[in-house]
Structure 1
Amino acid sequence: MTTRKKIIIVVTTIITLFLVWYLAIKKSDYCISFTVKAATGTVYQGVQEWAAARLIKNNEKYIVIEKQNFDFIKLEMIKEEVWIDYTWTLASINDSVTKVSVGIKDYNNSFYNKLSVPFFNTDFKKEQIKKIADFKTDLQDHLKNFKVKINGKGASEISLVAYISLKSVLQEKAQKMISSDAIITGFLASNNIKIKGRPYLEITKWDFNSEIIEFNYCFPIDKSTKIIFDEVVKFKTLPIFEGLKATYYGNFRTSDKAWFALIDYAKKQNIKLDNRVLEHFLSNPFNGGEEIKWKTEIIMPISSH
């Protein structure tokens, strides 16, 4: 066999294997990738909000098929006869930059899309580019509303607090706090207990899969305060939290964006964190002012395991 024939056979084999993989094995019809200045968890939440918004604006219903650790989420979109999967893979480049890859598969036209997308600007291709571009624009607008600064290792102070235990999905923690504010502050006022400083939020349990958190909404009080028994409002000494610290500037509703930045930072530094958080709100939202100037100090403890 001549060298020329060997080359032809090798090239033909490579092309054949590629076509088999591309047409029969490759899961997505089209993939769109880009980077964004945000932590992986922030992008992950943005994907969910984008899906919810498209149901209202475009009557597109998105169902979560699979999700994992705030860096992977697979959505199925069904609208009339259209059936498309969107597989979002989020890779942290650093604590403030994420690479986003979106694999898109149209089950009704998959074979045609794979043949046409590399060579032609089809309606399917144009529609998907616009969808993801809209997502990126909305996310970038959202990112203008807050800032996160990683401070490195830090520690909190010991504080005697009155607190109320709450539970919610991650996105609704602020609403839960606001709805419970009158209960705890009313109790303290009626018992002549003065609040000494700004409140804390102690996340005692955070389930990544369900995105449900259990937390204590805490108000610091004087160390000499006489403890009063109550079934709802409890008292305890908030211990020192030692771990990775970040400063968050923005509305308290989205302070968890700093949690995600700390998680990405810890991964790059090979630091294992507990799924617990301490937030110390240093600004009073009732005083108004620009939200971007509201300050919160956040610590996530380093795991001992």
Structure 2
Amino acid sequence: MTLKKRISVGSIGFISLFLIWYFAVKESDYCISFKVKAATGTVFQGIQEWTVAQLLKDGEKYTLIEKRDFEFIKQKMEKENVQMEYVWDITSINDSITKLSVGIKDLNQSWYNKITVPFYNTDFKKEQIRKITDFKKGLDDHLQKFKVVIDGETSTKEVSVAYISLESVLQRKAQNMIASDALITGFLYNNNIEIKGKPYLEITNWDLENETLQFNYCFPVDKNTKVVFDEVIKFKSLPALHGLKATYYGNFRTSDRAWFALLDYAKRKNIKIKHQVLEHFLANPFNGGDELQWKTEIMMPFAAD
């Protein structure tokens, strides 16, 4: 066989394998990728919040098919006769950059899209670019509303607190905390117990899969405070901890953005940390003002080997 014929046969074989992969193996009709300056968990939350908003905005109903950690989401979208599949792959690049790839498939005319998308600016292609651009703009706007600084390894001191135990989904922790503020501060005032500093939030259980929390909303008190029995308000000491610290600037409702940053940092550095969090609020949201000036110190303790 001549060299020319070998090249021809090889080219035909390569093209054949590519076509088999493109039409039979490759799941998406079209893929859009971009990078954002955010932790993977922040992007993950942003995707979920954006897809919920699409039902109100465009009448699109998104159903979760699969999700994995903060790295992968697979959804089915339905609107009238349209059925689409979105696969979001989320990858941490470095301390501040995450890459997001969105694979999109039209379940009703996938072959047509695969044939036309590489060569034509079809309605399908234009619509997907519009939607993902809309998502990215919303995410970029959100990222302007807070700042996270990774401070590294740190330790905390033991502190005596009065606290109330709460449960909620991740997205509503701040609302539940604020709703309980008058209850715990009123109890302390009525019992002549002085608050000795800024409040803490102690996350005792963080279920990443179901995005639920169990936590204690705590106010520091003198260690010699006489304990007053109550079925709701309790007293204890927050133990001294050793772990990773971040400083968060922004609204307390989204302080979990710092949690996600610490998780990404620990993963890249191969540091084992517990899925527990201690937040120390150093600003009073009831005073209002510029939210980017609201400071919260956040710590996640090291896990035992």
3-state secondary structure, aligned to 1:22: helix
Tell me how far apart the structure 2 counterparts of residues 251 and 241 of structure 1 sit (CA, whole Å).
Answer: 25
3-state secondary structure, aligned to 1:161: strand
Tell me how far apart the structure 2 counterparts of residues 187 and 76 of structure 1 sit (CA, whole Å).
Answer: 48
Contact 1:170 1:212 in 2 (8 A): yes
Normalised TM-score (structure 1): 0.98
Aligned to 2:114: 114
Aligned to 1:215: 215
3-state secondary structure, aligned to 2:93: strand
Contact 1:251 1:292 in 2 (8 A): yes
3-state secondary structure, aligned to 2:227: coil
Contact 1:250 1:295 in 2 (8 A): yes
Aligned length: 305
Tell me how far apart the structure 2 counterparts of residues 247 and 150 of structure 1 sit (CA, whole Å).
Answer: 7
Aligned to 1:302: 302
Aligned to 2:181: 181
1:226 counterpart = 2:244: no
Normalised TM-score (structure 2): 0.98
Q: Which runs of 5+ in 2 are unaligned?
A: none
Tell me how far apart the structure 2 counterparts of residues 60 and 241 of structure 1 sit (CA, whole Å).
Answer: 46
TM-superposed CA distance for 1:95, in Å, is 2.5
1:146 counterpart = 2:158: no
Contact 1:241 1:278 in 2 (8 A): no
TM-superposed CA distance for 1:189, in Å, is 1.2
TM-superposed CA distance for 1:256, in Å, is 0.4
Aligned to 2:130: 130
Tell me how far apart the structure 2 counterparts of residues 126 and 206 of structure 1 sit (CA, whole Å).
Answer: 40
Tell me how far apart the structure 2 counterparts of residues 157 and 109 of structure 1 sit (CA, whole Å).
Answer: 61
Deviation by residue 1:45-97 (Cα, 9 ceiling, x = unmatched):
11111111111110111111111111211111000100001111110011211
TM-superposed CA distance for 1:40, in Å, is 0.6
Tell me how far apart the structure 2 counterparts of residues 206 and 288 of structure 1 sit (CA, whole Å).
Answer: 29
Aligned to 2:79: 79
Deviation by residue 1:239-266 (Cα, 9 ceiling, x = unmatched):
0121110000000000000000111111
Tell me how far apart the structure 1 counterparts of residues 195 and 174 of structure 2 sit (CA, whole Å).
Answer: 20
Aligned to 2:57: 57
Deviation by residue 1:128-151 (Cα, 9 ceiling, x = unmatched):
001000000011011111000000
Tell me how far apart the structure 1 counterparts of residues 233 and 70 of structure 2 sit (CA, whole Å).
Answer: 33
**Superposed CA RMSD:** 0.8
Aligned to 2:166: 166
3-state secondary structure, aligned to 1:94: coil
Aligned to 1:242: 242
Q: Percent identity?
A: 65
Tell me how far apart the structure 2 counterparts of residues 115 and 106 of structure 1 sit (CA, whole Å).
Answer: 13
Tell me how far apart the structure 2 counterparts of residues 11 and 229 of structure 1 sit (CA, whole Å).
Answer: 82
Quick one: which amino acid aligns to residue 233 of structure 2?
V
Tell me how far apart the structure 2 counterparts of residues 87 and 29 of structure 1 sit (CA, whole Å).
Answer: 11
1:285 counterpart = 2:285: yes
Aligned to 1:200: 200
Aligned to 1:190: 190
Tell me how far apart the structure 1 counterparts of residues 241 and 255 of structure 2 sit (CA, whole Å).
Answer: 18
